[in-house]
Copies of this chain bind each other. A is one copy, B any other.
Amino acid sequence: MAPRVALDAMGGDHAPKEMIRGAIAAQRDAGVTPLLVGDERAIHECLLAEGAEPERWQIVHAADAVAMDERPVEAVRSRRQTSIRRVAEMLGANEIDAMVTMGNTGAAVAAGVLIVGRLPGVERPGLGVMLPSRGKRTLVIDVGANAEARARHLLQFAIMGCVYQERTQGVANPRVGLLSIGEEESKGNMLVHESARLLDTEALNYAGHIDPAHIFHRETDVNVCDGFSGNVVIKAAEATAEFALGELRYEVEKRWAAKLGAQMMLPALRAMRRRTDYAEIGATPLLGLKGLILIGHGRSRSPAVVNALLAADQAVRASLVPTIASGLQASAER
């Protein structure tokens, strides 16, 4: 049976239009047809506007939606008709195998924990992000599902991240790094010291500390950290890239030769941007739950939706969640 993937049609800055366009493209180009969850009438209209036949799509109505800037836990708890809640209920009830949302990340995490539920033994799910790079990509987990973490959570992030790299990216025996400030074992905070002890004794390919300065060097496949630090990494990286581009633009604008030069460099700039674009990565997995949740960037447009839907389809085919469950169980029994 083909994986049953549902799309939160109301999540993200460009919902529902870009969500529906992504769903149509995923069906047309890859034969992946998501169930569409959200305002039935809006979805219907979007499908028609894009030249699709609404009667050929499975639509699950949800009258309400969580806004991007809402307080997530409250919204998920108090409002019963939101699309994120409805799709999570279906995942929790095993009516679908995976869900994709480009909506409020906090709401997706809250819906995952409160409604889908955690795998046995999991205290904290981890949100993983693939950092862009030329060859294989390195995963950072957790990037913000929880602000606080303990060593035993980092151990679970490592196990789950390794299964993710193995199953979805074909990385054999992934190398695990522990995010710290310096590669020496003496560096780091208390969480790092405790986690190092735990990771070193586990049946993992543990490579020791990884300094944020080396995180793009692909020396490791999975990098574990508390969600506060992980979130700081990805946001500082994003801010730096934006800042550098803005400063370069400012300097280029002052010089006519540089402006011409920039024009001539456009294809190279675009190629670089494509590789580092979140749309290429599609969405990031929230691991440790009974079902698979992929969460994309709020600014996602249809290409990101397509990639996220394909990633969800492939992850289900690769038995990602059951393999994580057995990996965690094996660790608990050691």
Contacts and interface: CB of A to CB of B under 8 A. Distances in A.
A247 to B, nearest CB: 5
Contacts of A226: 189
B272 A228 contact: no
A276 B245 CA distance: 12
A147 B189 contact: yes
Contacts of A267: 251, 255, 257-258
A268 B239 contact: no
Contact of A260 (B227, B248, B255, B264): B264
Contacts of A197: none
A251 B235 CA distance: 25
A250 B134 contact: yes
Contacts of A25: none
Given A233-B232, A247-B272, A239 B257 contact: no
Given A147-B189, A189-B228, A238-B213, A265 B268 contact: no
Contacts of A134: 247, 250
B264 A148 contact: no
Interface stretch (A26-34, A180-188, A283-291): A180-188
Given A144-B181, A228-B181, A272-B251, A240 B236 contact: yes
Interface in A270-311: 271-272, 275-276
Contacts of A144: 181
A261 interface: yes
A186 B212 CA distance: 26
A211 B239 CA distance: 10
A272 B261 CA distance: 15
Nearest to A251: B268
A147 B187 contact: yes
A217 to B, nearest CB: 8
B181 A147 contact: yes
B187 A212 contact: no
Contacts of A258: 264-265, 267-268
A265 B252 contact: yes
B264 A186 contact: no
Contact of A237 (B231, B237, B265, B268): B237
A75 interface: no
Given A272-B244, A276-B247, A232 B212 contact: yes
Interface string A180-208: 01001011111010000000000000000
Q: What 3 pairs across the A-B complex have the smallest Cβ distances? A: A261-B264, A212-B235, A261-B265
Given A233-B236, A236-B237, 17 more contacts: A71-B184, A71-B186, A148-B190, A188-B228, A192-B228, A212-B235, A213-B235, A214-B239, A215-B239, A228-B229, A237-B240, A240-B241, A247-B272, A248-B269, A257-B265, A257-B267, A258-B264
20 contacts: A133-B243, A147-B188, A192-B228, A212-B236, A212-B239, A214-B239, A216-B240, A216-B242, A232-B232, A236-B236, A240-B240, A240-B244, A241-B244, A244-B276, A248-B268, A248-B272, A250-B272, A251-B271, A254-B268, A261-B262
